Amino acid sequence: DIQMTQSPSSLSASVGDRVTITCRTSQTISNYLNWYQQKPGKAPILLIYAASTLQSGVPSRFSGSGSGTDFTLTISSLQPEDFATYYCQQSYSTPRTFGQGTKVEIK
C-alpha cells in the first residue's frame, strides 16, 4: 500500500493568512494526487485533482503543486468558509489511500 503522510495534522490560522499543507507519499505516484475538503457532517468535496488542477467551481485561492512523492495544497488568503479538514488521496494504485487529514481551525 502507498502510505500518505500529511502535515501538519492541525493548524490554527487567521482570516487572510496564507496556509500550506503538505502530503508525502511512500513511493512515487507521478501526479496522481487529489485534495479534498471536508466539513463536519458532510461528505468530502474535491478541490484539486492531478496534483495541480483546480476543480470547476473551486475558488482560485486554492492551489496545488508537486509531483513524485511531495505535494502541497496552498490557500492564498484564508476565508471563514475554509475552516475545515483537508485530505490528500492517491489515485496511482489500489488500495486507494488518504492522508490522515489536516484540520484548519480559527486562531
Partner 1 sequence: QVQLQESGPGLVKPSQTLSLTCTVSGGSISSGNYYWSWIRQPAGKGLEWIGRMYTSGTTNYNPSLKGRATISRDTSKNEFSLNLSSVTAADTAIYYCARVDYGAPGRYFDYWGQGILVTVSS
Nearest approach, Cβ of 55 to partner 1 (angstroms)?
Answer: 8
In angstroms, the CA 40 to CA 65 distance is 26
**Residues forming the site for partner 1 (CB under 8 A):** 1, 31-34, 36, 42-46, 49-51, 53, 87, 89, 91, 94-101
Nearer to partner 1, 78 or 88 (CB): 88
Nearest approach, Cβ of 86 to partner 1 (angstroms)?
Answer: 11
Instruction: Return the C-alpha cell found at 40.
Output: 463536519
Nearer to partner 1, 16 or 40 (CB): 40
Contact criterion met (CB below 8 Å) for 66 and 33: yes
Q: Where are the alpha helices (DSSP H) in 1-107?
A: none
From first CA to last CA, the distance across the chain in angstroms is 36
Nearest approach, Cβ of 18 to partner 1 (angstroms)?
Answer: 24
